[in-house]
Amino acid sequence: MTEAEKTDIHEKIISEIKRLKHEAGRLTELTDPRVLEDLDEVSRMDAIVSKSVHDAALSAARQRIGELEYALKRIKDDPEFGYCAECGEEIPLARLMSMPEATRCVDCAR
């Protein structure tokens, strides 16, 4: 991996974290239990159902932020970044650009 490619991935991670934090903030508002208090019975049932969807999306977003922050650390400090943890092959740039937190190549991730 070239330095320029590393910079690209680094920027990608930063913008992805930013996007996810924004998303997590929005979901946190949506999952605020106080929202339910102001609703009538029917809307409350609806809100409870969508709350569970939002809760799941929120925890997925938080988990991905954690993985991306870890990738951000690794891209700076770990010379093994970009290499498959399983077979040691270089992980293709396209895969790292779409999933910078990937630690395995597509074959090994299967």
The residue ranges that bind Zn ion (CB under 5 A) are 84, 86-87, 105, 108
Residue 68 contacts by C-beta under 8 Å, 6 or more apart in sequence?
A: 13, 16, 17, 20, 100, 101
Report the residue number, 65 or 81, with the smaller CB distance to Zn ion.
81
Shortest Cβ 24–Zn ion spacing (Å)? 31
Shortest Cβ 65–Zn ion spacing (Å)? 25
Shortest Cβ 64–Zn ion spacing (Å)? 21
Using a 10 angstrom Cβ sphere, with 0-12 exposed, 13-18 middle and 19 or more buried, the burial of residue 15 is exposed
Tell me the β-bridge partners of 90. 83
Report the residue number, 66 or 92, with the smaller CB distance to Zn ion.
92
Residue 33 contacts by C-beta under 8 Å, 6 or more apart in sequence?
A: none
Report the residue number, 14 or 85, with the smaller CB distance to Zn ion.
85
First CA to last CA distance, the chain? 23
Report the residue number, 48 or 87, with the smaller CB distance to Zn ion.
87
Shortest Cβ 79–Zn ion spacing (Å)? 17
